[in-house]
Amino acid sequence: MVGQRLTNYLQSCGLEAEDVPKVAAIFLGAKYCAWAASVAVAVRYQPLRRVFLSRREALFGSGVAARTFSERKRLWLVEALDMARRRQGQGQSEPLRRTVGLGGPGASASLTRAKGTATAILKRLRSKAKTSRSSLANGLASGWATARDRYHAANYSWKLAGWQLLRTQERQKLGMVPARHREPISWYPWTSAKYWQLSDKLEASAGSNRAWSMLTKWLNLNSKGLALGLAEGTILFKFTVPVHMPLMLFTIVSFFRHRRWVAAETTAALEEDDVKAQGGQVTESFEEPSRMLGSTRNAARDISYLGRWGLAFWQEVE
């Protein structure tokens, strides 16, 4: 059904049915070329990041640019703390997180308990050292490892609690209202925030994929930037389909229509030359008897004139 409609459309544009496969093949190739160009533009210039709000404005509101220098510096500190928390969270092992949680008001108590546990373990190890040297070595190693892990976990919770407290204080200084008391945001900030969330997830997935990392390393490209460029290029291609698809189809159809028009003009010119040549031959065939008849008439006129002149001369002689 689609092929019949396309054929009818091309015939209405002045093309023939044999031009349909050519137009379809060129149009398909042009579509993939447009997609590749969109990906290249997205990898090089990242146009969607220029369209949406920046990461700072999407996270903390659109009034960042109007803030003073000191407020912007405090805002930069909040972002630095968020980044440090994410990096520390990635480096921290999962058992330690389960042991002490993600921080809060009990972080100091956890630290105290960890120190008390470490002290108790060391005391028990000292008492057991009197009984056996071998058991002392094994117990000391395992006890020291356990105490060290507990201390690191408690220290991590303590730092995380400090980060959260500092972030809260800085947000209060900047006049930021908690999320539950904020007014409903419009679609543009919401879309910008979603874009940054999805881009972070995509970059994380690209960084953790070994096959993708090996491919981008072999191509000497940035794995995260290339993955984000592919996603942005595809989105840009999809959004610009109503613009570039009709333009490409119109250009291809105009090209084939011009070819058809040139071929038709050339054929018509050749046919006209043939007709003129044939007409010239017919004219020449009619002109030859006319010339012969004219010559005969002239000869008869000359003979008649000579006869009259001779008769007149003879009469004068007599």
d(CA 258, CA 252): 10
Q: Which of 200, 204, 226 is nearest to 215 (CA)?
A: 226
d(CA 253, CA 20): 10
Query: Residue 104 has what DSSP assignment?
Result: S
Q: pLDDT tens per residue, the chain (318 residues)?
A: 556 676 677 667 777 777 778 888 898 999 999 999 999 998 888 888 778 777 667 665 554 444 555 655 666 666 666 666 666 655 544 444 444 444 444 555 666 766 677 777 777 766 666 665 666 566 667 777 777 777 666 665 555 555 566 666 556 655 554 544 445 567 777 787 778 778 878 877 877 788 888 888 888 888 878 888 888 888 889 889 999 888 988 888 888 888 877 777 787 777 776 666 665 555 555 555 566 656 666 666 666 655 666 566 556 655
State residue 101's pLDDT score. 46
State residue 33's pLDDT score. 93
63: which 2 tokens?
A: 């009034």
State residue 35's pLDDT score. 92
State residue 74's pLDDT score. 60
In sequence order, what are the residues at sequence separation of 6 or more whose Cβ sits closer than 8 angstroms to the Cβ of residue 153?
92, 96, 97, 99, 100, 110, 114
State residue 37's pLDDT score. 92
Task: Specify the long-range contacts of residues 247-251, CB closer than 8 Å, at least 24 apart.
Answer: 248/27, 248/30, 248/31, 248/34, 249/27
d(CA 228, CA 203): 7
State residue 36's pLDDT score. 92
Burial of 59 (0-12, 13-18, 19+ CB in 10 A): middle
State residue 29's pLDDT score. 92
- Distance spanning both ends of the chain, measured CA to CA: 108
Question: What pTM did the predictor assign?
Answer: 0.47
